[in-house]
């Protein structure tokens, strides 16, 4: 059971395409196209990439026109890449000042790959505390270098920044609500999208409009309407519930660079409860897939466990949102593709979605730019399948490893106790942070891997032995 972690780690090591992170030096904005090509070279031969655009009809007199529905990280990144690639881009976002309920944690590789200015980041978390069901606590972060951190951002700030970059690259940002789309009769016709445009004068209800586009990227989040229109199918989702609590400065000092993770059946049967620091308050929340009706109960339990540290705090906001658990059955249909939460790219175990949303948006846009030879040719479904193939190949190991970890360690209280115990090990901390911050696994020492496997099995066996003893007791 434990060898799965080391075996999966070995699998990620063997995959040469996991070199998306190019170090902490500031990468100029154009370079993301270069690194993408480097990744492609060993996997797909050049001829395959040109084939799509050679066989597609050349557009006469106008560039390719793509609508990006949704202006979060996925939509913003996609729109920027499209606009830079010479494609006529329209970004439709329904609420430009939307403050999304979100943990707000971004890995280091996102800061670098998307050239995010450091002042976007409210807090740099470099200490995490894991707390087991019986309150055994372990601090992780000893192995981090001083320049390494988990960035905590406010979603409204990040989303607005990415959209402004897209607008600066030439995309037109429209404040509107997507209603429906009409598929073309033949394979080269245009899609017709219906949306309501809200103008600055805030006329009630907005103005109904239509537009003809050649392709659509659905980046409209977990409740994606594009997904519904294209018949993408449903996914299982978790409910994440969060309360923003303003606590005293003295208590806030403890959370200055520290995030906490609480595990236990009381806090969530299949996820974890968290306390994440934000700009001037903390976010206390939890989530669940299987027991959604009990979410308030789990939230109360989370507040109880963090009680001493958030005592006297004032709840300033209560928010909840669905989080997809796995990709939708269909992510591409014709010339409509889904990216980000709309596609279901949230990892298990940690529930991370921002980076994968932005990256998938960018990768989809790159596939369109390439397939259309910079906006001069029509694209077809095979170009979107290219994006899917690349994304799946690049990140499948990460998703699978996190799925295995969730299955093994979130199974029961005994497994969670073993999980927290394992986190005390420095090798585990190093591997965890490396794979989270850079989305890659550094070739580990095989001897250390073996020790890790043995220790994992030992922890799990001890915890389940104690579990059997606990079952015999009736207090």
Tell which positions 251-290 bind another protein, by CB under 8 A. Answer: 254, 262, 264-266
Q: How far apart are CA 107 and CA 150, in angstroms?
A: 5
Whether 307 and 270 have beta carbons less than 8 Å apart is answered as no
Report 349-368 residues binding another protein (CB under 8 A).
Answer: none
Residue of 383, 100, 446, 416 lying closest to 214 (CA atoms): 383
When binding is defined by CB under 8 A, the residue of 37, 135, 164, 290 that contacts another protein is: 135
Report 383-422 residues binding another protein (CB under 8 A).
Answer: 385, 388-389, 392, 396, 399-400, 403, 407, 413, 417, 421
Whether 134 and 463 have beta carbons less than 8 Å apart is answered as no
Residue of 225, 161, 235, 163 lying closest to 195 (CA atoms): 225
When binding is defined by CB under 8 A, the residue of 7, 14, 136, 279 that contacts another protein is: 136
191 vs 262, beta carbon nearer another protein: 262
115 vs 320, beta carbon nearer another protein: 320
- Give me the helix-helix angle, 413-423 and 426-438, nearest 10°: 90
- Give me the helix-helix angle, 354-371 and 46-55, nearest 10°: 60
Encoded one letter per residue, x for contact with another protein by CB under 8 A and - for no contact, window 89-118 reads ------------------------------
Nearest distance from residue 137's CB to another protein, in Å? Answer: 5
Q: Among the candidate windows 68-76, 128-136, 180-188, 372-380, which touches another protein by CB under 8 A?
A: 128-136
Q: Among the candidate windows 80-88, 202-210, 218-226, 303-311, which touches another protein by CB under 8 A?
A: 303-311
Q: Among the candidate windows 87-95, 171-179, 206-214, 293-301, which touches another protein by CB under 8 A?
A: 293-301
Q: How many residues bind another protein (CB under 8 A)?
A: 73
Is 13 a binder of another protein (CB under 8 A)?
no
Q: How far apart are CA 231 and CA 227, in angstroms?
A: 6
The DSSP 8-state label assigned to residue 374 in this structure reads T
62 vs 307, beta carbon nearer another protein: 307
**Could you give the angle at the alpha carbon of 378 between the alpha carbons of 194 and 60, nearest 5°?**
95
Q: Are strands 282-288 and 314-324 parallel, antiparallel or unpaired?
A: unpaired
At 375, phi and psi to the nearest 5? 85, 5
Handedness of CA 353, 354, 356, 362 (dihedral sign): positive
Is 227 a binder of another protein (CB under 8 A)?
no
Is 300 a binder of another protein (CB under 8 A)?
yes
Nearest distance from residue 305's CB to another protein, in Å? Answer: 6
Q: How far apart are CA 219 and CA 227, in angstroms?
A: 9
Is 468 a binder of another protein (CB under 8 A)?
yes
When binding is defined by CB under 8 A, the residue of 46, 54, 208, 314 that contacts another protein is: 314
Is 331 a binder of another protein (CB under 8 A)?
yes
Name the one residue in this structure whose structure tokens are 């270069």: 34
Is 459 a binder of another protein (CB under 8 A)?
yes
The DSSP 8-state label assigned to residue 170 in this structure reads T
Q: How far apart are CA 179 and CA 207, in angstroms?
A: 12
Q: Which residues neighbour 408 within 8 Å (Cβ) at sequence distance 6 or greater?
A: 1, 2, 4, 5, 415, 460
Whether 72 and 99 have beta carbons less than 8 Å apart is answered as no
Q: How far apart are CA 129 and CA 140, in angstroms?
A: 6
**Could you give the angle at the alpha carbon of 253 between the alpha carbons of 248 and 258, nearest 5°?**
120
Tokens of 58: 């050349």
169 vs 466, beta carbon nearer another protein: 466
Is 293 a binder of another protein (CB under 8 A)?
no
89 vs 333, beta carbon nearer another protein: 333
Nearest distance from residue 428's CB to another protein, in Å? Answer: 14
Is 296 a binder of another protein (CB under 8 A)?
yes
Is 29 a binder of another protein (CB under 8 A)?
no
When binding is defined by CB under 8 A, the residue of 133, 151, 285, 353 that contacts another protein is: 133
When binding is defined by CB under 8 A, the residue of 316, 426, 443, 446 that contacts another protein is: 316
When binding is defined by CB under 8 A, the residue of 171, 310, 357, 373 that contacts another protein is: 310
């Amino acid at each position: 059971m434990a060898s799965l972690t080391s075996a999966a780690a070995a699998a990620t090591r063997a995959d040469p395409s996991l070199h998306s992170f190019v170090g902490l030096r500031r990468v100029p904005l154009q370079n993301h196209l270069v690194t993408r090509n480097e990744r492609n070279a060993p996997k797909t031969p050049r001829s395959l990439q040109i084939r799509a655009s050679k066989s597609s009809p050349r557009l006469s007199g106008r560039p390719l026109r793509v609508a990006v529905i949704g202006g979060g990280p996925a939509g913003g990144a996609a729109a920027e890449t499209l606009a830079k690639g010479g494609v006529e881009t329209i970004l439709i976002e329904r609420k430009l000042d939307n403050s999304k309920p979100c943990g707000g944690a971004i890995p280091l590789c996102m800061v670098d790959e998307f050239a995010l200015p450091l002042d976007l980041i409210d807090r740099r978390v470099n200490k995490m505390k894991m707390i087991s069901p019986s309150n055994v606590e372990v601090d992780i972060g000893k192995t981090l270098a001083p320049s390494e951190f988990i960035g905590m951002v406010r979603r409204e700030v990040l989303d607005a920044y990415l959209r402004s970059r897209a607008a600066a690259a030439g995309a037109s940002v429209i404040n509107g609500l997507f209603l429906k789309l009409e598929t073309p009769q033949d394979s080269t016709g245009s899609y017709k999208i219906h949306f309501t445009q809200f103008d600055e004068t805030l006329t009630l209800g907005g103005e109904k409009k239509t537009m003809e586009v050649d392709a659509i990227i659905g980046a409209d989040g977990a409740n994606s309407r594009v997904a519904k229109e294209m018949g993408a199918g449903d996914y299982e989702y978790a409910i994440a519930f969060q309360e923003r609590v303003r606590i005293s400065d003295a208590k806030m000092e403890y959370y200055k660079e520290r995030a906490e993770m609480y595990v236990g059946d009381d806090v969530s049967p299949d996820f974890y409860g968290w306390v994440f620091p934000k700009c001037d308050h903390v976010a206390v929340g939890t989530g669940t897939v299987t027991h959604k009706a009990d979410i308030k109960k789990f939230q109360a339990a989370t507040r109880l466990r963090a009680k001493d540290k958030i005592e006297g705090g004032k709840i300033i906001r209560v928010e909840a949102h669905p989080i997809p658990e796995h990709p939708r059955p269909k992510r591409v249909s014709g010339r409509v593709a889904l990216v980000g939460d709309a596609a279901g790219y949230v990892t298990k175990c940690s529930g991370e979605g921002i980076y994968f949303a932005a990256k998938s948006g960018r990768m989809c846009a790159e596939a369109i730019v390439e397939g259309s030879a910079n906006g001069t040719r029509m694209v077809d479904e095979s170009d979107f399948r290219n994006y899917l193939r690349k994304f799946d190949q690049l990140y499948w190991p990460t998703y699978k490893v996190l799925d295995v970890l969730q299955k093994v360690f979130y199974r029961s209280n005994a497994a969670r106790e073993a999980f927290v115990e394992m986190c005390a090990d420095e090798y585990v901390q190093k591997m965890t942070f490396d794979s989270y911050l850079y989305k890659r696994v550094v070739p580990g020492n095989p001897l250390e891997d073996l020790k890790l496997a043995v220790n994992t099995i030992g922890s799990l066996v001890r915890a389940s032995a104690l579990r059997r003893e606990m079952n015999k007791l009736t207090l």
